[in-house]
Structure 1
Amino acid sequence: MDYGPHLDIDDEYGKLVIRMNPPRVTVDNTSSKKATLVKVDSANRHGSLLEVVQAITDLNLTIRRAYISSDGEWFMDVFHVVDEDGNKLHDSEVIDCIQQSLGAKAFDLWSLRRSVEVWTHNSRMASVVYITDEATGGPIDDADRLSKIKQLLRYVLKGNIDKRCAKTAISLGVTHTERRLHQMMYADRDYDDRGDVDEEESLSDRSKLLVTVENCSDKGYSVVNDEIYMLHMMQEYYIRHSDGFPISSEAERQRLILCLEAAIKRRNTEGVRLELCCDDRVGLLSDVTRIFREHGLTVTCAEVSTRGSQAVNVFYVMDASGNQVQSQTIEAALNECQLKNCWML
């Protein structure tokens, strides 16, 4: 899959092209008997495919099949989508929601929806946090204050691992959250650092995932296949370097396989899913995570967002040893969250 040149959303020309060519969304319920076809075409930019897939997933819809193509600075995606019960989409409200979620107005907001997102993989944690000034509700533009925040975060996040210090960075621009998380994990080489993971566990984990990379010399591409057995899903991509050449060495091929496996596993959420919703307030996230810590819970993945005056939080938790949490522990933690106004039934 060769996406060709991409538009930079932070570039003025890129912004102009996207405004002049907003995403066009078509919902087709007649072409297929088993699924609803969602067609999205728009100006191509980095993260376009990821953002569209994420928007569909956020609506609790399942993508059964997808056709992805691009031509220069334009892309066209067709998704075969079903609801949670595996049926086509007939509810007009759901269809309207798809058009609103993928349409022109939503395109500029996808990168700003979540205020906190946390991933863990191979004993490493990466997080993107959006912060605002408590007094003004706007961004913090004081350089000294930002530097102090960065210093304190580095101290807190260092933990007890002496050989690798925490890395922090501050950006005042638009950030694509999930792409940034992948970049941070990749820069930290989480793909080849197994840490204290048991070898038998590692082999079992890899048996659920198969990634292959082969050269297709007659077409001038490298072909990437990834198959996730536990999800019964297989994907195929045609890729090449920006200079037009396919993968050229065995070392590069092996590294790509490791990186793709790591990228898939980063998104594989483990643990008990907890959904907490309540009125948003200063210090809410700190209170929730403190309660989890006091009950011996470890957060493996988290997505925290605000919708109007409401805070909508999703956490995946395990015990301190990485095992499933007992139900009484979950109940005790949730009861305390409710008492501290961190959760409403």
Structure 2
Amino acid sequence: MRTSATESTLQVFHVTDQQGKKITDSKTIDFIEKTLGPKGQSTEGVKSWKGKRVGVHSIGDHTVIELIGRDRPGLLSEISAVLASLQFNVIAAEVWTHNRRIACVLYVNDATNQAMDDSKRLSIIEEQLNHILRGCEDDEKVARTSFSMGITHMDRRLHQMLFADRDYESAGVTTTDVDCPPCFRPNIRIERIVEKGYSVVSVKCKDRAKLMFDIVCTLTDMEYVVFHATISSEGQYASQEYFIRHMDGCTLDTEGEKERAIKCIEAAIQRRVSEGVSLELCAKDRVGLLSEVTRILRENGLTVSRAGVSTVGEKGLNVFYVRDASGNPVDMKIIEALHKEIGQTVMVNVKRIPAAYAKAPVETRGWARTSFFFGNLLERFLT
């Protein structure tokens, strides 16, 4: 990506697809234009719930369910089983786990493809899902998330939920230690430029898709304003600098503030980190498909560290990043047995994930560098 901008709201972005090629697809271009246009983001129907593990709200022809709590093996299977038992179909979902916490955003509708408009049914779902999440809480920590139910990008919402749940506070050995070996841990520094009145956040780590998005989301959640940024990459590694101030105009002056910001940015980078094996499954969409697949994964001793669910036409497309129940890499014999068990009705594609990041970056020749100002555009989409 290459960008240029001024301190005004005019901003120019030079972008390519993930293969480094020019974007020529008319649908993609049209989507970008509509999304960035004046009517691209709607806040109509925004509601909030405080102090809950589960948020449920109907929007248009589907219902959005948000969950956050303590992770454990088989939890996703139990969640999807509840939805299947109530005859709700998962049409899209994203699931992230980090530091023993799990956050889910699920878009569902019932067997007749109608949104759930019955408050009693919504209450039943919320009660049953809360019961599951309470069952895996062995301490007094509850979600401190304020659920904001608007039309929000799934990844953006997951960052908000996990940040509010304080997943950046680790206790002892966490999944982060397994996900990201020391040689791949982000190198994050924060310095103050007195004469400019900025704090500079420097991040050096392995490059990947959506790295800048993840960092900017978290800076926004911490109520920092990014005035200028410099992004460069060389081979598989990225170097990023963000010139920031707090919304009240203050810089990060205390060591406590800097330490908290470093922890939050590191958590934002590592929430997408997965290694080991990914399973891509394609089958005819139906009520209970997600429940069936996650049950089989659980029965074969596999735990899901991240998942994505989408529906294209009549096909359900599911991607699961899995490990064994102890968090270790999966024995490929288990994958072979799993393939035989579900391969009759479900197309299965197995991929080994490169260490440290779920998607290897596109190979580049030499390095690329870009410098730009942040104006109201990104702030509009991230707040």
User: Is the TM value for this pair above 0.5?
Assistant: yes
Corresponding residue of 1:219: 196
Q: 2:34 aligns with which of 100, 104, 114?
A: 104
Offset from partner CA, 1:63-87 (integer Å, 9 cap, x none): xx44365756x46252453654xx6
* Residue correspondence of structure 1 range 236-275 to structure 2 within 5 A: 236-275=241-280
Fraction of identical pairs, as percent: 40
AA paired with 1:174? Answer: I
| Residues 275 and 200 of structure 1: CA distance in aligned 2, closer, same or farther (over 3 Å) | closer
Measured after TM superposition, the shift of residue 182 of structure 1 is 1.2
- Which one has a larger percent strand, Structure 1 or Structure 2? 2
Corresponding residue of 1:343: 347
| Residues 275 and 344 of structure 1: CA distance in aligned 2, closer, same or farther (over 3 Å) | closer
Corresponding residue of 1:144: 120
- Give the unaligned 5+ runs of structure 1: 1-64
| Residues 225 and 335 of structure 1: CA distance in aligned 2, closer, same or farther (over 3 Å) | same
Measured after TM superposition, the shift of residue 195 of structure 1 is 4.1
* Partner SS, residue 313 of structure 1: strand
Corresponding residue of 1:176: 153
Q: 1:157 aligns with which of 113, 133, 138?
A: 133
**Structure 1 CA distance, aligned partners of 2:317 and 2:343?**
14
* Residue correspondence of structure 1 range 165-314 to structure 2 within 5 A: 167=143, 173-197=150-174, 204-205=181-182, 208-229=185-206, 231-314=236-319
Normalising by structure 2, we get a TM-score of 0.62
8 Å CA contact retained: 1:123, 1:195:
no
* Residue correspondence of structure 1 range 22-37 to structure 2 within 5 A: none
8 Å CA contact retained: 2:146, 2:164:
no
| Residues 146 and 200 of structure 1: CA distance in aligned 2, closer, same or farther (over 3 Å) | closer
**Structure 1 CA distance, aligned partners of 2:310 and 2:160?**
21
| Residues 221 and 67 of structure 1: CA distance in aligned 2, closer, same or farther (over 3 Å) | farther
Task: Answer 1 or 2: higher relative contact order, Cα 8 Å, separation at least 6.
Answer: 2
- Give the unaligned 5+ runs of structure 2: 44-61, 65-90, 208-235, 350-383
RMSD after superposition: 3.4
**Structure 2 CA distance, aligned partners of 1:156 and 1:296?**
20
* Partner SS, residue 171 of structure 2: coil
Aligned residue pairs total 273
| Residues 153 and 272 of structure 1: CA distance in aligned 2, closer, same or farther (over 3 Å) | same
* Partner SS, residue 103 of structure 1: helix
| Residues 313 and 69 of structure 1: CA distance in aligned 2, closer, same or farther (over 3 Å) | farther
* Partner SS, residue 157 of structure 1: helix
* Partner SS, residue 316 of structure 1: strand
AA paired with 2:3? Answer: Y
Normalising by structure 1, we get a TM-score of 0.68
**Structure 2 CA distance, aligned partners of 1:271 and 1:328?**
14
